[in-house]
Amino acid sequence: MPRPLIGITTYIEDSTRYGVWDLPTSLVPAGYYELVQAAGGAAVLLPPDEPGAAAEVLSRVDGLVVAGGPDVDPVHYGAARDPRTGPPATVRDHWELALIAAALDADLPVLGVCRGMQALNVALGGTLVQHLDGHFDTPGAMSWHPVRPVPGTRYAALVPEEAEVPTYHHQAVDRLGRGLIASAHAADGTVEAIELPDPARWVLGVQWHPERDKDTRVMSALVAAAASHTAIPVP
């Protein structure tokens, strides 16, 4: 049987060296597609495109993962730029916000990871905390801390216990977007997961990096939702 096809957003690095070449490259860490594959899905990478092409692109996939990465430009949630906010990733912001909007319009299952969760919140009219301490320690290395599920949420049904997760972020959800609820928190109260509570729609964001862990529960749930969305039997 065909595996559900999960689209994963990628991003452009202007200068990427491999072999004898140093060229602009569209990329995403391998852990994303490896986790999709481990969860029973097939992965396809989605390079940036014109925002108007989002619905067409998503018509070819069964689910969407919005990957982690740089800060969302605060212009998208009507805030002044904090000096600690990273430089804008304009092309990526426009493309991923368009993908999220198109996915929501099509009731396509969506998983936002780190920046992807923040972009999901912004796409639905929410705002972000532009800087907080304590959610990464060493540049280029994951930190680990516990997150506690909110009882009665989709995330809590998947991961009912407090879990240690790999984390690397300095921004977080502030005001929740339209219809979203918080479904997990860190010990300091930071929102660590968000979701749409509508049982007919599978939309979840996690602030940590499941692609850096061996726990497939969240990704397996996305793959199962993608299979149900297109009536693909799950092995």
Per-residue pLDDT of the chain in tens (235 residues, 90 and over written 9):
899 999 999 998 887 888 899 999 999 999 999 999 999 999 999 999 999 999 999 999 999 999 999 999 999 999 999 999 999 999 999 999 999 999 999 999 999 999 999 999 999 999 999 999 878 888 889 999 999 999 999 999 999 999 999 999 999 999 999 999 999 999 999 999 999 999 999 999 999 999 999 999 999 999 999 999 876 555 4
Determine which one of 96, 192, 195, 211 is catalytic.
211
Determine which one of 114, 169, 192, 229 is catalytic.
114
Distance between CA atoms of 184 and 147, rounded to whole angstroms? 6
Q: Which of 84, 161, 175 is nearest to 130 (CA)?
A: 84
Q: How confident is the model at residue 211, as a pLDDT? A: 98
Q: What are the residues whose beta carbons fall under 8 Å from the beta carbon of 80, sequence distance 6 or more?
A: 74
Q: Could you tell me how many residues make up the chain?
A: 235
Domain ranges of the chain: 5-229
- Asked if 211 is an active-site residue, the reply is yes
Q: What are the residues whose beta carbons fall under 8 Å from the beta carbon of 86, sequence distance 6 or more?
A: 70, 71
- Asked if 114 is an active-site residue, the reply is yes
**Which CATH superfamily groups domain 5-229?**
Class I glutamine amidotransferase (GATase) domain (3.40.50.880)
Sign (positive or negative) of CA dihedral 161, 162, 164, 169: positive
Q: How confident is the model at residue 91, as a pLDDT? A: 96
- Asked if 162 is an active-site residue, the reply is no
pTM of the complete model: 0.95
| Cα–Cα distances in angstroms (integers) from residue 156 to residues 46, 176, 195, in the given order | 29, 18, 11
C-alpha atoms less than 13 angstroms from C-alpha of 124 in its C-beta half-sphere = 25
Determine which one of 135, 169, 209, 229 is catalytic.
209
